[in-house]
Structure 1
Amino acid sequence: MARLLFLAFAVLFVGGCDRSAMPEAQTVVAENYDSFWLWAGVKPQPVLDRAQSIYILAGEVRAGDPGRFRQLRPATPDVSVDELWLVVRVETLDWSPAIADEILKLAEKWDRRDRPLTGVQIDFDARTNGLEGYAAFLRSFRNILPDRFKLSITGLLDWSANGDPSDLSALADVADEAVFQTYQGRATIPGYEQWLGRLRDLPMPFRLGLVQGGQWQAPDHLDDMPNFRGFVVFLVNPSRVGAAD
């Protein structure tokens, strides 16, 4: 019994040492990154002046009004950046034909000779068990998107853990990248670490989305993943940094 108690204490002690030795999560400071989401209602920040990539919310398709594309940024962004993405926030895939036409016209408007548009990003929280249908939707959109534009999608961490491999391969065949959100609202998702290792076998280039002011600690193995392409920070207004919805 004494030996068992000693071993139990030793395990607890070593476990405690391991936890204390682990680096603590750090606050996401926008100035430490070079790729950003700029949402409607969020004021531009000085950090955007040196950004390499900016994903700008241009409009949305709401579930209650699937026949309409609601533009949220009527003016063409006046930015100088290596990569500019036009983002469409989507609540439903039940689009009318006119929606895709409006998005394409807006993409052509944003595309300039001195600063070409990189592509369109679809921001849709597809259910893990609905990825097959989502891939089919993206394929139809890709077929009408001009070849010079790339197609990006946002993703949920659950996809890599519980998604069907054939469905993930179908997404990889049509999307040029996926950006997985590690936050919900304005706060980092608790326990995000458990999902990150499962991204290793994801068959497409991917980035990780962080929220400005959230808590984040990158695992050591992340840079060893062949398809990892870096981070995108979701900017929030200064009064909202670190606030949870």
Structure 2
Amino acid sequence: MLLVRLSVLLVALALLNGCEQTDAPPLDQQLYVWQRQWTSAHDAALQDSRADFSTLRVLALQAFPQAGWSRARVDPALLKRDGRPLIAVIRLDGQLKSLDQDDVTTHIQQVLSEWQGQGLTLSGVEIDHDAGSARLPAYREFLTHLRAALPAALPLSITALPAWLDSPELPALLATVDSSVLQVHAVSDPRRGLFDPDQARKWVNAWSLITSKPFYLALPAYGVALLPGASGAPVVESEVPVGRAGQRRELLADPLQLSALTAELRADPPTHLAGLIWFRLPLVGDRRAWSLNTLRAVARGDSLDSRLSLKLIAQDDLYDISVSNQGNLDNAWPERVTLAVRGCDGADALAGYALQQSPDLLTFTRLRDGRIPAGEQRAIGWARCAHIDQGGSNVHP
């Protein structure tokens, strides 16, 4: 009887171990590098992102209906030193009337050859083309042509739109490439918002039922502004300023929403989902992107919080007044900051704030919106006072 019980126990342990071995691997995390003009800020951004993001998908080449072809001015030395797998992204604007297979393929081959000549080793090519569903057969023919022209060992992927889910042409299109990247942000009327997590999850589940190959999910870590357009449709301003006056309505992807969605995907990954790709690598001074601290925290699945506190730097009786964000979540400028003071003979607010002064209180009130990135601070004013009681001062979110 003892031997029988021991045998049963060993079988049960084996089954448990087998279950553990079939657990889904953690979702891969990648980054889009989408700046058309590289700067010295890319160096620190790449170095600081290496620990959390496995692969770089770098904008290489764009084609527009009127402007024609444009190459992104990347820094090959930085990419070579970075050493992560590198995927060149070719953006073919959705407003192009048609794709000249030979011409487009020639331009792609030229830029790939140029990158390889600069010492870069490519791990793949991604085609980003917002084709309407009616044009998917022609797009499939182009991809078939391109696939034959590229080295057989070089993976080919496409950026894909949720709107294609209703097309009977989608399975044949996906059969021409090695993987797809489902974009779930900025795919609807911008006036309805930048991103809807509930709708995104539905699209992901539907995509997993159609594709038989690995796919990735492109997620937003940025914002845009909407300006009134002459035709009634809004003009979208993103990382490149639009030379147009008018009231801007800012839209920003919510890190808390994205954190909740990625937690669901980790806990219950849809079939064939291979990883997440974040748009875009943030640079210092990029006011419409999450800070890298916030992006890394969301990618890791860390708990998110902002910890705003008053920071005073004193030189004799002159105080520089700032608000510091010591958390990992970017935060809006505080609505109001009050300082308990004594013996002030001068004070002023910096741009974005207004100052109200009484003998024992300074009140800085926000005039416009802005964000304090995680791990950074924002100066709001100065004061020349005999004393500022930091313990009696408050930051009001």
Say whether the fold is shared (TM-score over 0.5): yes
* Deviant stretches of 4+, over 6 Å: none
Structure 2 match to 1:232? 277
Aligned counterpart in structure 2 of residue 207 of structure 1, from 199, 211, 216: 216
Seen in structure 2, the aligned counterparts of structure 1 residues 119 and 157 have a Cα distance that, compared at 3 Å, is same
Seen in structure 2, the aligned counterparts of structure 1 residues 221 and 132 have a Cα distance that, compared at 3 Å, is farther
Structure 1: gaps (5+ residues)? 1-31
**Could you say what the CA RMSD is over the residues aligned between the two structures, in angstroms?**
3.0
How far did 1:221 drift? 8.5
Alignment of 1:111 onto 2:156: no
- Cα shift readout 1:135-164 (whole Å, capped 9, x = no counterpart): 11111111111112111110112223x121
Q: Match of 2:210, SS?
A: coil
How far did 1:74 drift? 5.4
Seen in structure 2, the aligned counterparts of structure 1 residues 130 and 96 have a Cα distance that, compared at 3 Å, is closer
Structure 1 match to 2:88? 86
Q: Is the 8 A contact 2:218 2:279 kept in 1?
A: yes
CA distance in 2, matches of 1:139, 1:150: 13
Alignment of 1:163 onto 2:167: yes
Amino acid at match of 2:184: T
Q: Is the 8 A contact 1:57 1:73 kept in 2?
A: no
Answer with 50-59 or 123-132: which moved more: 123-132
Seen in structure 2, the aligned counterparts of structure 1 residues 239 and 225 have a Cα distance that, compared at 3 Å, is same
- In terms of fraction of residues, the more helix-rich structure is 1
Seen in structure 2, the aligned counterparts of structure 1 residues 202 and 81 have a Cα distance that, compared at 3 Å, is farther
- Cα shift readout 1:174-225 (whole Å, capped 9, x = no counterpart): 1111111121189324632332221221223210001115232144588443
Q: Is the 8 A contact 2:204 2:270 kept in 1?
A: no
Larger Rg: 2
Amino acid at match of 1:39: W
Q: Is the 8 A contact 1:123 1:154 kept in 2?
A: yes
Seen in structure 2, the aligned counterparts of structure 1 residues 222 and 137 have a Cα distance that, compared at 3 Å, is farther
Structure 2: gaps (5+ residues)? 1-26, 223-252, 291-368, 370-397
Structure 1 match to 2:49? 48
Matched pairs, number: 207
Seen in structure 2, the aligned counterparts of structure 1 residues 114 and 72 have a Cα distance that, compared at 3 Å, is closer
Structure 2 match to 1:69? 69
Structure 1 match to 2:394? none
Structure 2 match to 1:4? none
Amino acid at match of 1:192: A
Q: Is the 8 A contact 1:158 1:195 kept in 2?
A: no
Amino acid at match of 1:94: L
Seen in structure 2, the aligned counterparts of structure 1 residues 109 and 157 have a Cα distance that, compared at 3 Å, is same
Alignment of 1:138 onto 2:139: no
Alignment of 1:196 onto 2:204: yes
Q: Is the 8 A contact 2:205 2:270 kept in 1?
A: no
Q: Which of the pair has the greater relative contact order for Cα pairs under 8 Å at 6+ separation?
A: 1
CA distance in 2, matches of 1:136, 1:119: 20
How far did 1:106 drift? 1.9
Alignment of 1:34 onto 2:35: no
Q: Match of 1:201, SS?
A: helix
Q: Match of 2:287, SS?
A: helix
CA distance in 2, matches of 1:33, 1:225: 14
Aligned counterpart in structure 1 of residue 174 of structure 2, from 165, 169, 172: 172
Q: Is the 8 A contact 1:211 1:233 kept in 2?
A: yes
Answer with 96-105 or 140-149: which moved more: 96-105
Q: Is the 8 A contact 1:36 1:233 kept in 2?
A: yes
